[in-house]
Structure 1
Amino acid sequence: MRIALLGGTGDIGQGLALRWAYDTNHEVVIGSRDPEKAREKANEYETELSSLGVDRSINGFANEMAADRADVVVLAVPPYHARDTVETVADRLDDVDVLVTPAVGMDRDEDGFHYEPPSAGSVTELVAGAVPEDVPVVGAFHNLSADRLADLELELEQDTLLVADDGDAKETVRMLAEGIEGLRALDAGGLANAAEVESVTPLLINIALNNEGMHDVGVTFE
């Protein structure tokens, strides 16, 4: 399966790219608005994997080229770039693709981080409203520590919550998520539940900021 990480040069994109390249045989492609930056980062990821004894080829392209012919496209971009990025690659998507969004709208003040959803209700629903009608959207990976993902010597032992209205698309992302060692995917319902899932992220960041030794805090459900 070909996974395109648009904005794959950032924190969450890096973590997911490294984990999928390290733990699975899926083809990983890095996308960016700047194709040279995408290629540089792809080379960095290859070097890091090589240092751990894993020989993988990772390519970098402009976002449009990365999304082209991908089976799963991950919008690893900040929430304020989500709609623009979707519109940029919309003509490269069709009904056999799955679009995944891990973005969360947040604001910060002197007390910490706070959930700040867009008018659509959640970033996931915002993305769903921007894609071509036949392209399924799955919200996933919102609550994961990007730093923990990117450190391949650390065990994850965390859960990620999935929201989607398309059952087949959700199952595809569940399979991809659980291909990452130590990551469990749990069904949190349809897209209407995305706000509840996304709002956990600022809570986790506030816990990490206020408690020593919890920099990479995540969630598990029992």
Structure 2
Amino acid sequence: MTSDVKYRVAVIGGTGPQGKGLGYRFAQGGHTVVLGSRAAEKGEAVAAEVREKLAGAAGAGEVSGASNADAVEQCDVVLLAVPYDGHDELVASLPLAGKTVISCVNPLAFDKRGAHGKIINNGEGSAAESAQELAPEATVVGAFHNVSAVGLWEEPGLLDEDVIVVGDVVEAKEVAMNLAASVTGRVGIDGGKLRLARQLEPFTAVLISINRKYKVHSGLRITGLSPDASH
């Protein structure tokens, strides 16, 4: 596996903080990015913001905006970076057949005690698994759940953390693992089967709690791997 493959990535939810930040990082890494939105003009407005931030960056990929469905049509890789509320209806409406779909959706809830993970399908499901059920002709993996939107957009360099990727198809996981190099400078880590999104998605609530306590934008690092473990 190499991290120098270039993809065309549709970012659904590309006008939100997480989608915009990941779209920026992917384009910075030389990938072509189409930011999707319910309104094409909003997608293009945020794309212009990303292009301005990329001005002068050597080797940056093209960034454009489109409606969600048009963005998917233009790309082979689709990143779902949308709120969990309304997730199922949106995913079911998209032409995802034949696409590699990367879900970074975190089903979270908030109360007086802070953030916590929602229980999906009585504990037997996750947003990523729901997306796979709704788009059976796509291949869904989970990745980028635990990366800070603020860090993606505001940190000047690569983020000092790891991206864990889960999925049931090795080739699809490798797409997300390669894209991770645009964020961290390292290919992502294969974390196992898609069902483990049930642990990755709500873990974001722990990071939110840490961030609130220590006033930081924390991330995950996996220790004990050899330098070439991801290849």
TM-score, normalization by structure 1: 0.90
Q: Give the aligned residue type for 2:104.
A: P
* 8 Å contact kept, 1:4–1:30: yes
CA offset digits 1:39-71 (Å, max 9, x no partner): 111111111111667765311110010000311
- Residue equivalent to 2:227: none
Please state how far the C-alpha of 1:81 moved relative to its aligned partner.
2.5
* 8 Å contact kept, 1:143–1:201: yes
Aligned residues: 215
Moved more, 56-65 or 173-182: 173-182
* 8 Å contact kept, 1:158–1:182: no
- Residue equivalent to 1:205: 208
- Residue equivalent to 2:111: 109
- Residue equivalent to 2:229: none
* 8 Å contact kept, 2:178–2:187: no
Please state how far the C-alpha of 1:148 moved relative to its aligned partner.
0.3
Gap regions ≥5 residues in structure 1: none
Q: What CA distance in whole angstroms lies between the structure 2 residues aligned with 1:57 and 1:168? A: 24
- Residue equivalent to 1:73: 78
- Residue equivalent to 1:219: 220
Report SS of the residue matched to 2:162: strand
- Residue equivalent to 2:92: 87
CA offset digits 1:165-215 (Å, max 9, x no partner): 111111121112124343541111111211111121000000100113x2x
Q: What CA distance in whole angstroms lies between the structure 2 residues aligned with 1:55 and 1:203? A: 33
* 8 Å contact kept, 1:138–1:169: yes
- Residue equivalent to 1:130: 134
Q: What CA distance in whole angstroms lies between the structure 1 residues aligned with 2:118 and 2:87? A: 15
* 8 Å contact kept, 1:50–1:56: no
* 8 Å contact kept, 2:152–2:183: no
Q: What CA distance in whole angstroms lies between the structure 2 residues aligned with 1:191 and 1:52? A: 35
- Residue equivalent to 1:8: 14
* Inter-CA distance 164–11: structure 2 relative to 1 (3 Å threshold): same
* Inter-CA distance 154–71: structure 2 relative to 1 (3 Å threshold): same
Q: What CA distance in whole angstroms lies between the structure 1 residues aligned with 2:61 and 2:76? A: 19
Aligned pair partner of 2:52 in 42, 47, 59: 47
Q: Give the aligned residue type for 1:182.
A: G
Report SS of the residue matched to 1:66: helix
Task: Confirm whether residue 59 of structure 1 aligns to residue 64 of structure 2.
Answer: yes
Aligned pair partner of 2:43 in 38, 47, 66: 38
* 8 Å contact kept, 2:96–2:137: no
Q: Give the aligned residue type for 1:144.
A: V
- Residue equivalent to 1:27: 32
Task: Confirm whether residue 143 of structure 1 aligns to residue 133 of structure 2.
Answer: no
Report SS of the residue matched to 2:79: strand
TM-score, normalization by structure 2: 0.87
CA RMSD of aligned residues (A): 1.8
Please state how far the C-alpha of 1:88 moved relative to its aligned partner.
1.7
CA offset digits 1:2-25 (Å, max 9, x no partner): 1000110001111111111112x2
Report SS of the residue matched to 2:220: coil
CA offset digits 1:109-164 (Å, max 9, x no partner): 11111111322521111111111x22110000000011101125143011111111
Report SS of the residue matched to 1:79: coil
- Residue equivalent to 1:177: 180
* 8 Å contact kept, 1:8–1:32: yes
